[in-house]
Every structure is written in structure tokens, then in C-alpha cells.
Amino acid sequence: MKILVTGCAGFIGFHLSKKLTQKKSNLVIGVDNLNKYYDIKLKKERLNVLKSTSQKNKKNFLFYKFDISNKKKLNLIFKKFNFDAVIHLAAQAGVRYSLENPDIYLKSNLVGFYNIIECGRNHKTKHLLYASTSSVYGANKSLPFNEKDIADHPLQFYAATKRSNEIIAHSYSHLYNLPTTSLRFFTVYGPWGRPDMSLFKFTKNIIEGKKIELFNDGNHTRDFTYIDDVVTAINKLISKKPKRKNIGKRYKLRPNESSAPFQIFNIGNNNPVNLKIYIKHLEKELGIKAKRKKLPQQDGDMKDTYANINLLKTKINFKPKTNIKIGIKKFVSWYLKYYKKNKRGKF
């Protein structure tokens, strides 16, 4: 099976690519621009792991460094490999960063997505799966978030670009019969994670004796989802491409309904955790009490996230296996080993 993974040097893209290359019959083509949003060294070391794994499996991972806004280069690899599946994970991430640098989100998340889906259409990709986010639920107050819920009130530009991807995907599925699957990720965490995310930042600051920033005094919840569970869900969904269907004469369609080969899934843990409890688990694992800096709720932040995953259960018999205590333990173990620090911050 020939599979394109964009953003292969990113957090989720790395773990997914590693999983896919473990199957020797797969040929995984990775694309990443290795931008400077966070430590390039971390991204390059992820790539080194992928290349090492690939060599053990008859070199079934190939890497191309370029930006997905370059449509010409994208067309060339689509033409060369005729992909069975495309898993589009390349994007400018970060809710708070989008408040400061919206231009890069326009280029990567909208222009880049358009280039991917156009190439998918022109080269008759069999299944396009793409990263979305729990942030699309925005101002929605109904918990847990359900794919049938309205998602038209994003609270930041990042979420708006991701919701736009879903709407564009539906139009292509309808017009060109291109099977598309939206993956709405809920606060993914784990080893090799992104340095801009809470667990990474909290761990670093606690070890170094610096204050951790608590927006809204930590009075919000997140449906923290461990990376291995996320990868399992994506891997299973690759073969579950949507088909055209007869949904009858509905007066009003729900956001996740369509006669087109189009589908949306929440990829979450289905078990929200209060941020203060989350920090307590981290403090216990590190053996260090965190110093706190209390801040007001930041613009664009959602108070709570909570994934209804009934559709995933029905489609792929999905059930997350990793609870927050185990997930944090595994992350801390990786972090201390990677940065060669002990639990008191000494080298």
C-alpha cells in the first residue's frame, strides 16, 4: 500500500509513519517542510528514527522536504506514486500562535490544504484523511461534543481554517466522488510531543524550577488523548473509506451527514480531566511541586473539551486504552531520557 503522510516530522505524523512502516508491504512517503515553529532538532531526530525503522523494513519510508504550498512539487509526487491513501497532517498548529501570526495559517492550512485536495482529485486518490481539531466546536456548550453538533462558531483563526478544510472536503467529495475523512483530534499528548503544548511546557518548567502559566486559574478541562490511541484510530480508519449513500429527503442535514463519500470523526479519549488534576499527576510523577503563575482566560481558549466517540466505536470498534496517569508517566520517562535529566533537573 502506498501512503502519503504530510507533516511526517511532526508529532502525530512521526508516530503514525512509524506505525505504518512496521508493515513491510507499506511504502510510506513522508513530506515535511521542517519549519521553525519549534525546535528543528527534535523534528530531525524524529526523521532519523523513521529512517532507521525503515532500513529494518526494506527501506519502506521515503522523505521529501518541501512546503505543501508548493503545488508543483506536490503534483510530481502524486503522479509518481499514485497513492492508495493520503493522510494530511501538515499544518500550522497552535491555537495561541494563530492570534499572533494568522498569515502563516492562511498559507499552510488553507492554501496547503487546497493543494493537497486538488492533487487528490486530479490523481484519483482512493482515500484522503486529514487533521482537524476539537477547536472547531468553538462556542458550542453542549458536552460531550458530537460530530452531529453545529461547528460554525470557531473562537480563533486556527479553528476557522480547520473547519474550512472540512467544508472544502465536502464539496470535493460531492463533486468529484473523492472519499474524505476528517479527524478531529482532542489534545493529543505523549512522547516526542510538541514543545509548545502544555505537558511539555509544564514538565520543562517544573524541572527547571520556573513557574507554570495557569490560564483561567486552571479551571478548565481537556479530553487528553494519548498518541498511541490516536495512531491506532487513524490506522484503522485508512481502510474505512466513506461511500456515497442515500440519506433520503432530509429537511435539514446535520453537519456530519451527506450523500457524498464524506465523514467526520472525533478522535478523543472520551474522559475529560481538569487541568489541576492533570498537573497533580505530573507533580507526583516528577516528585516536584509546581510553582504557579495565575493568569486570566486567554482569548480564543475553550473552557472545556469532551469527545463523544460513539461513531468511532461503531466504525472501528475503537476504545482508548491509555489513562492519564500512564500517559503522563510515559511522557516523563521519554522527556528525562531525551534531555538526559534526572527528576531534579540536573544533567
Convert the pLDDT of each residue in 317-333 to its tens digit.
Answer: 999 999 999 999 999 99
Q: Please confirm, yes or no, whether 158 is among the known catalytic residues.
A: yes
Q: Encode pLDDT of 32-79 as tens digits.
A: 999 888 899 999 999 999 998 877 767 899 999 999 999 999 999 999
Give 342's pLDDT tier (boundaries 50, 70, 90). low
Catalytic residue among 38, 105, 158, 278: 158
- Asked if the model's pLDDT at residue 347 lies above 50, the reply is no
| Whether residue 122 has pLDDT greater than 70 | yes
pLDDT band at 240 (very low <50, low <70, confident <90, very high): very high
Q: What is the pLDDT of residues 133-181, one digit of tens each?
A: 999 999 998 999 999 999 999 999 999 999 999 999 999 999 999 999 9
As a whole-number percent, the residues of the chain with pLDDT over 70 amount to 97
Q: List beta partners, residue 211.
A: 291
Indicate the pLDDT class of residue 216, thresholds 50, 70 and 90.
confident
Would you list the domain boundaries of the chain? 2-190+225-269+306-321
Q: What is the pLDDT of residue 194?
A: 94
Percentage of residues in the chain having pLDDT higher than 90: 80
- Note the pLDDT tens digit of each residue in 248-289: 776 678 888 899 999 999 999 999 999 999 999 999 999 999
Exposure string over 280-300, b if 16+ CB within 10 A, otherwise e: ebbeebbebebeeeeeeeeeb
Q: Which CATH architecture has domain 2-190+225-269+306-321?
A: 3-Layer(aba) Sandwich (3.40)
Q: What is the pLDDT of residue 57?
A: 67
Q: What is the mean pLDDT of the chain?
A: 93
Pairing of strands 273-274, 221-222: antiparallel
